[in-house]
Structure 1
Amino acid sequence: MRAGVLVDRDLRLAVREGWIRAAEPITDTQVQPASLDLRLGPIAYQLRASFLPFRQTVQSRLGEELGDSDLVIDRLPLAAGATLQRGSVYLVPLVESLALPPELRGRSNPKSTTGRLDIFTRVITDGTPRFDEIRPGYRGGLYLEVSPQSFPVRVHAGASLNQLRLLAGQTSMSDAELARTYGETPLLYDDDGRPIPIERAVFNDGLCMGVDLSGRLTDGIIGYRANPNPPAVDLARVDHYDPAEFWEPIKRPARDAYILEANRFYILVSKERIRVPPEFAAEMVVYDAGAGEIRTHYAGFFDPGFGFGDGSVLGTKVVMEVRAREVPFMVYDGQTSFKVWFERLRGRPERVYGVGLGSSYQHQTLTLSKQFRRPQQG
């Protein structure tokens, strides 16, 4: 099998070949340019704690009958919807399962909306020591750990909170390869639509990007901080909620720095605009755990065409889900906060992000999740 990230036509073939299986038919709307949306099954198990199955199956850790274990606190049916509480840990068997050939492996990430609602999710598979990574040739079920952090969230069976990528062989690009690609097709643009010269781009096991504290395009608002005691958010409701009930806007600071409070959740935005050409997929990853006491993202996948579209889009801002850890932390305008890995595809996808797809965030600046009404900006 040719190396690269599987694209939409490959994913449809994987379904036909039985490499991706499902208790209910997989729909075309689940198939993204280089990923597959995974769906919640009919039951959520509230757990005492998170866990990894290590050398056993998930089911054996939970008891022979799912939920028959002292690890499980409660079972919540999701067919009519259920509200998941902040700070609690839930495990949901997903509708999809896998029977991968030996040359295929997988990786999972939360969807953008999931991250922007501060819902901590990660996939667990049988006999694995790591979250979100699916070993080559894996055969078995997929389970999603879900832990809302800032808002209670109402979810229904069939909803998609995370995505799956399948990969064959060597997919990642070295910094030298990434720099050559940048020289041919600039990957970062500024807010005036000008490519950022390659001499100013920073490559460090990926393409580095910074945080924007200028508020230039958002009427002086640089971000949002989650309110401490909000109502619940129903994920099925789009353009429904008043942001003021859930978020506090953050005004541009008097100087080019802002202090993030410990253990508070923020939505910020990147200084640069990124383009992902249709020949590549990308993933947002932590820059360096030693470079700051913050977690800078939950959702990481960028599909081919993000910030590119049909070629007319000159980059798109990256929305950052940020949480300071044990201590308050000061960030500076333009400070490197994350990096982006680029990966080769097995071929060009039939459809790219923002072209013929319901792509919610192609032209975003500082954008909350789609459940919230868009604030009016001058």
Structure 2
Amino acid sequence: MKKRALKNGVLSSQELKGAIAEGVIKADPPIEDRQIQPASIDLRCGHKVFRLVSSFLPESMPVLDRLHTPDVYGSDLVMYEMDISEGGILERGSVYLIPLMEELDLPADVDGKANPKSTTGRLDIFARVITDNNPRFDEIPAGYRGRLFVEVLPRSFTIKIKAGVSLVQLRLRRGEAVLEDSALKRLNSRHSLLYDGSKALPTREVRISNGLFMSVDLVGEDSSGIIGYKSKKNSHVIDLTKVGYYNAEDFWEPIYRNSKDTLILEPEEFYILASKERIRVPSGYAAEMVPYEVGSGELRTHYAGFFDPGFGYGTKGEVKGTKAVLEVRAHDVPFMVVHGQTFCKLFFEKMSTLPEKVYGPKIGSSYQYQTISLSKQFKKG
């Protein structure tokens, strides 16, 4: 990126365009404008898929070298390869590796963080980015130069995927960007980050401690009584290129409010729930919802973590918050949750510059006014 006075923070849409023009982000075929979001870029699946024996990390090796390193029996991690130029099936419970179309040539002061897109998380598709010589998923070190890969594990549904589909997104960040609690409290005082219904949540009720906490809604907001959904194990294949195509009842069991406003989460079942509060992300900031685990590890919430500038906020604060949809999986033992229980935490990061566009229908965003929402492949209502 060109030498100039650059501010720390998450790179905005116009800076991402500049990075593409300068070859910091490159791809074949060229990157399309639709991939560029207010604070991230969608990464596209390439034409080849490797079906793997297991998950892995390359540690100090290039990804493809690790992939083809023989084990004690002389076999490598690849069971077979598949071309998805015209589409291909990824089976539930199987691990795949897909080389992405995009590559990086990052400056020494810019690092990256990847996350599943909202639709990916809501379909219970476990997707993590892997890079060469890196012992961590989803974290791309400053100065990285090389290819990008995504590990994919469909957990609830068998899916059909095609080259060019985006499962994950990438944020680039220069320097330290995360707001400390004192700065986050000041931001909340100015912009009221959480709403309860149509009213801003009083400051005394906003819990900030190494991030902003939110709770779960087990009451619901409409007359249907539906507070969430649980995935069905035996269902049809979901084609990720379809929009508004599938009937929800063929894939999901609705969960209804009970008289105690509680819910018992069964081990290894997948649930879609909603936050009690409505979250707002002002235009000069981005947020990330991190996996929240209670101390003994029985519960994990939220696969898909990025919240773009303007989410639940609009351009000038005209939107009074949007519910966060939570992807939830319990582990080991049944786990009871109650209405209003702490369920997730968000980190806020400052943008390096104000983005030219913000989250919302004008740029094709799908979930600005969501309540309890399934992914865009399902029919509304």
TM-score (norm 2): 0.95
Query: Residue 288 of structure 2 corresponds to which residue in structure 1?
Result: 283
For structure 1, the 5+ residue unaligned runs are: none
Q: Which amino acid aligns with 1:198?
A: T
Match of 2:338 among 332, 341, 346: 332
Residues 15-26 of structure 1 mapped to structure 2, 5 A cutoff: 15-26=20-31
Match of 1:250 among 255, 279, 283: 255
Match of 2:125 among 116, 119, 122: 119
1:239 matched to 2:208 = no
- Contact 1:309/1:355 (CA < 8 Å) preserved in 2? no
User: In structure 1, how many angstroms separate the alpha carbons of the residues matched to 2:114 and 2:54?
Assistant: 21
Q: CA deviation at 1:21?
A: 1.1
Q: Which amino acid aligns with 2:372?
A: L
User: In structure 1, how many angstroms separate the alpha carbons of the residues matched to 2:98 and 2:75?
Assistant: 15
- Contact 2:292/2:302 (CA < 8 Å) preserved in 1? no
Q: Which amino acid aligns with 1:167?
A: R
User: In structure 2, how many angstroms separate the alpha carbons of the residues matched to 1:268 and 1:205?
Assistant: 24
Q: CA deviation at 1:254?
A: 1.6
Residues 207-286 of structure 1 mapped to structure 2, 5 A cutoff: 207-217=212-222, 219-286=224-291
Q: CA deviation at 1:292?
A: 5.5
1:84 matched to 2:78 = no
- Contact 2:289/2:347 (CA < 8 Å) preserved in 1? yes
User: In structure 2, how many angstroms separate the alpha carbons of the residues matched to 1:47 and 1:63?
Assistant: 11
Other structure's SS at 1:211 match: strand
Other structure's SS at 1:24 match: coil
Q: Which amino acid aligns with 1:294?
A: L
Other structure's SS at 2:199 match: coil
RMSD: 1.3
- Contact 1:126/1:141 (CA < 8 Å) preserved in 2? yes
User: In structure 2, how many angstroms separate the alpha carbons of the residues matched to 1:225 and 1:155?
Assistant: 23
- Contact 1:208/1:287 (CA < 8 Å) preserved in 2? no
1:54 matched to 2:59 = yes
Q: Deviations over 1:133-183 (max 9, x none)?
A: 000000010000000000000000000000000000010001111001111
User: In structure 2, how many angstroms separate the alpha carbons of the residues matched to 1:94 and 1:364?
Assistant: 30
The 1:106/1:296 distance shift into structure 2, 3 A limit, reads: same
Q: Deviations over 1:25-73 (max 9, x none)?
A: 1011000000000000000100000000000000111239xxx962100
User: In structure 1, how many angstroms separate the alpha carbons of the residues matched to 2:138 and 2:372?
Assistant: 27
Q: CA deviation at 1:288?
A: 4.0
Q: CA deviation at 1:286?
A: 2.5
The 1:97/1:218 distance shift into structure 2, 3 A limit, reads: farther
1:167 matched to 2:147 = no
The 1:77/1:69 distance shift into structure 2, 3 A limit, reads: farther
Residues 98-117 of structure 1 mapped to structure 2, 5 A cutoff: 98-117=104-123
Query: Residue 373 of structure 1 corresponds to which residue in structure 2?
Result: 379
Q: CA deviation at 1:216?
A: 2.7
Percent identical pairs in the alignment equals 53
Q: Which amino acid aligns with 1:127?
A: N
The 1:323/1:78 distance shift into structure 2, 3 A limit, reads: same
Q: CA deviation at 1:294?
A: 1.1
Query: Residue 3 of structure 2 corresponds to which residue in structure 1?
Result: none
Which moves more between the two structures, 219-228 or 266-275? 219-228
Other structure's SS at 1:331 match: strand
Query: Residue 319 of structure 2 corresponds to which residue in structure 1?
Result: 313
The 1:69/1:3 distance shift into structure 2, 3 A limit, reads: farther
User: In structure 1, how many angstroms separate the alpha carbons of the residues matched to 2:229 and 2:139?
Assistant: 31
Q: CA deviation at 1:253?
A: 1.4
Query: Residue 42 of structure 2 corresponds to which residue in structure 1?
Result: 37
User: In structure 2, how many angstroms separate the alpha carbons of the residues matched to 1:189 and 1:292?
Assistant: 29
Query: Residue 148 of structure 1 corresponds to which residue in structure 2?
Result: 154
Which moves more between the two structures, 216-225 or 240-249? 216-225
User: In structure 1, how many angstroms separate the alpha carbons of the residues matched to 2:311 and 2:223?
Assistant: 21
Q: CA deviation at 1:342?
A: 0.3
User: In structure 2, how many angstroms separate the alpha carbons of the residues matched to 1:72 and 1:287?
Assistant: 33
User: In structure 1, how many angstroms separate the alpha carbons of the residues matched to 2:95 and 2:296?
Assistant: 29
User: In structure 2, how many angstroms separate the alpha carbons of the residues matched to 1:283 and 1:218?
Assistant: 31
For structure 2, the 5+ residue unaligned runs are: 1-5
Match of 2:17 among 12, 21, 26: 12
Query: Residue 361 of structure 1 corresponds to which residue in structure 2?
Result: 367
Other structure's SS at 2:255 match: strand
Query: Residue 128 of structure 1 corresponds to which residue in structure 2?
Result: 134
Question: Which 4+ runs in 1 deviate beyond 6 A?
Answer: none
- Contact 2:68/2:78 (CA < 8 Å) preserved in 1? no
